[in-house]
Amino acid sequence: MSQDFLLPDLGEGIHEAEIIAIKVKVGQSVKEDDILFEVETDKAVVEVPSPFTGTVEAIHVKEGETAKTGCNMITIGSGSGDAKAPAKEEKKAEKVADTKTQILTPVGKASEANGGNGKTAPAPTAAPAQTAANSQSPAHHVNRDIPVPAAPAVRALARELKVDLYDVRPSGPHGRVMKEDVRSYAAGALESRVGSGSGSGSSSAVATSLRPAQPAISLHDKYGGGDDKADKTSGGSSMPSMQSTPSNLPDFSKQGEVERVPLRSIRKKIAQAMMKSWTTIPHVTTFDEADITGLNATLKSAEKSFAEKTGSRLTLTAVVIKAVVSALQKYPQFNSSLDDEKSEIIFKKYYNIGIAVATEKGLIVPVIHNADQKSLTQIAIELQDIANKTRAGKVELEKLQGGTFTITNIGAIGGTNMSPMINHPECAILGMARGADKPIVRNGNIEIGTILPLALSFDHRLADGAEAAYFVRHIINHLEHPLNFILEN
């Protein structure tokens, strides 16, 4: 006899959970209370134990997926016997659904009054529901004699966005309309899927402003239907989106072995952030070189005593941070952000420099706050500290927030130059490639010097090429003539 385990409400009114880890494999025998999944809800990361003892027959969800409550997670058979009595099985599965319904969704009765088929989300065969776009979600509420089940906050939102709840396709249990449903309906994203053309044209501007605050939407929703361009073309999702590409991909497995890994956690966030940067900021990159022969020698000579005194390394990056702050003070547009909606440029009067750090899980950018108020020594110490903490995954959340400008240094690895991508919503990013000994012309003679290639990518809406060239020159002047640091004060 097999039993299905449906995702319960793991907190108070939680309606979905992201599968962080699956702790068992098909064919594995499990005991009651063994941990099956680790899932993350809006409120907490929790371990989900097995309610049955038996053998795992099927796992219906994947790591990285978001499962709704009532979604069939796993089927567990009772040890020796295989699936002999399907009728009984189904009944059992339904019973689980029963208990769930009683305990967790007291408003469930509303769906009955709905005129539709009473059984909706917790059907034992329901496929893992992922987004509002789930094809299994029930039809929207057509009978206007009966109120649409929706929480007061959802009703308020619908009123605010001028959305008629009867037009919205519900994604909640028992046909309940959720906030996301109202938002995506208002944005017109759902319009094309539902195929009904009524009542949302006016509200897309409102919805656009709401969009960024809405974390649970899919990438498709985020990039495909929400921004200005898509609204103008009015054809719904005409923007190239990350989610639509898989269907256009060739079958790679024909060429050899492949492995599919869910896009999640830091990788997913990087993908989203880069997509946003690349699609919303007009990038321009300017390249230059700094002759750091002198600076390099100075740093080398100070290396040992600095390490003995502070326990930290005095690095080129630390000096570049100081030079960047000085350049930002002179050219404040590179420390600004564009408020597209209000058509205003926001000049920040503080200098928080982000440093791109490569970690095992992906790129993370911790921030040195108020770098203008810190000495070179303080910056060198803090730089090493946050880089170490970031690599160990122990950096504090506040250290990852509030950056105004980013520096990325690939010099330790190599590279003759690069074209870095701006860390949205900042204005610019400075890339440092490898500082290497090269033949250079000094006073008509070819000499050997240490050359540091620099690249500045900037938002061309906020700054122009000439300013960018000046900005980089300012940095180079400080690196080539460190006396400038003292002279300018």
Partner 1 sequence: MPRKPIEITEKIEYLSILDENANVDTKLEPKLDNDTLKKMYRFMLLGRRTDERMLKMQRTGRLGTFPQASGHEAVSIGSVSAIEKSDWHIPAYRELAGMLYRGWSLEKIILYWNGYEEGAVPPKGVNDLPYCVPVASQLLHAAGVGMAMNIKGDKKVALTYFGDGSSSEGDFHEALNFASVFKAPVIFVCQNNQYAISVPLSKQMNCKTLAQRAVAYGMPGIKVDGNDVLAMYVATKEAVDRAKAGGGPTLIEGLTYRFTPHTTADDPKRYRSEEESKEWFGKEPLTRFAKYLQNKGVMTAKDLEEMEAEVDAEIRAGIERSETLSKSEELMNPLAMFDHLYSTETEHLKEQKEELRQYLEHKKKGKKQQNHTAHPEVSSAK
Residues in contact with partner 1, counted by CB under 8 A, come to a total of 34
Tokens of 443: 């006073």
Residues 117-136 contacting partner 1, CB under 8 A: 117-119
Q: Which of 141, 220, 369, 460 is catalytic?
A: 460
CB 438 within 8 Å of CB 460:
no
**For partner 1, which is the closer residue by CB, 29 or 99?**
99
Considering only 40-48, 132-140, 244-252, 385-393, which stretch makes contact with partner 1 by CB under 8 A?
Answer: 40-48
**For partner 1, which is the closer residue by CB, 5 or 471?**
5
DSSP string, 120-165: -TT-TT-----STT-TTSPPP---TTSPPPB-HHHHHHHHHTT--G
**For partner 1, which is the closer residue by CB, 7 or 371?**
7
Q: 31, 47, 139, 304: which one contacts partner 1 (CB under 8 A)?
A: 47
* SS3 of residue 435 by DSSP: coil
Considering only 90-98, 192-200, 332-340, 439-447, which stretch makes contact with partner 1 by CB under 8 A?
Answer: 90-98
Asked if 205 is part of the footprint of partner 1 (rule: CB under 8 A), the reply reads no
Considering only 49-57, 274-282, 297-305, 414-422, which stretch makes contact with partner 1 by CB under 8 A?
Answer: 49-57
Q: 19, 96, 121, 381: which one contacts partner 1 (CB under 8 A)?
A: 96
| CA-to-CA dists, residue 58 to 2, 10, 169, 455, angstroms | 10, 22, 30, 52
Q: How many CA atoms lie within 13 A of 298 on its CB side?
A: 11
> In the bound complex, what is the minimum distance in angstroms from residue 12's beta carbon to partner 1?
4
Asked if 102 is part of the footprint of partner 1 (rule: CB under 8 A), the reply reads yes
Residue 369 gets which letter from DSSP? T
Burial class (CB within 10 angstroms; exposed 0-12, middle 13-18, buried 19+) of 405: buried
Q: 4, 6, 356, 366: which one contacts partner 1 (CB under 8 A)?
A: 6
CB neighbours of residue 466 within 10 Å: 9
Considering only 43-51, 224-232, 359-367, 441-449, which stretch makes contact with partner 1 by CB under 8 A?
Answer: 43-51
Q: 2, 4, 7, 335: which one contacts partner 1 (CB under 8 A)?
A: 7
**For partner 1, which is the closer residue by CB, 35 or 412?**
35
Residues contacting 129, CB < 8 A, separation 6+: 16, 67, 68, 71, 121, 136, 137, 171
Residues 50-79 contacting partner 1, CB under 8 A: 50-51
C-alpha Rg value of the chain to the nearest Å: 28
Tokens of 309: 């005194």
Asked if 212 is part of the footprint of partner 1 (rule: CB under 8 A), the reply reads no
Query: Residue 46 carries which side chain, given as an amino acid letter?
Result: V
Active site residue 283: no
**For partner 1, which is the closer residue by CB, 397 or 413?**
397
**For partner 1, which is the closer residue by CB, 14 or 177?**
14
Tokens of 334: 């590179």
Residues 410-469 contacting partner 1, CB under 8 A: none
425-426-429 Cα angle (round to 5): 135
* Residue where the block lists tokens 């769906």: 111
> In the bound complex, what is the minimum distance in angstroms from residue 11's beta carbon to partner 1?
3
Q: Which long-range contacts (CB under 8 A, 24 or more apart) does 252-256 make?
A: none
- The beta strands (E) that lie in 181-315 are given as 283-291
Asked if 48 is part of the footprint of partner 1 (rule: CB under 8 A), the reply reads yes
CB 121 within 8 Å of CB 173:
yes
Asked if 94 is part of the footprint of partner 1 (rule: CB under 8 A), the reply reads yes
* Residue where the block lists tokens 């040195």: 368
**For partner 1, which is the closer residue by CB, 70 or 366?**
70
> In the bound complex, what is the minimum distance in angstroms from residue 31's beta carbon to partner 1?
12
CB 62 within 8 Å of CB 84:
no
Nearest-angstrom CA–CA distance, 297 and 291: 12
No. of H helices and E strands in the chain? 14, 19
Q: 44, 127, 156, 346: which one contacts partner 1 (CB under 8 A)?
A: 44
> In the bound complex, what is the minimum distance in angstroms from residue 124's beta carbon to partner 1?
12
**For partner 1, which is the closer residue by CB, 8 or 420?**
8
Contact positions vs partner 1 (CB under 8 A): 5-12, 14, 33, 43-51, 94, 96-104, 106, 112, 117-119
Active site residues per annotation: 460
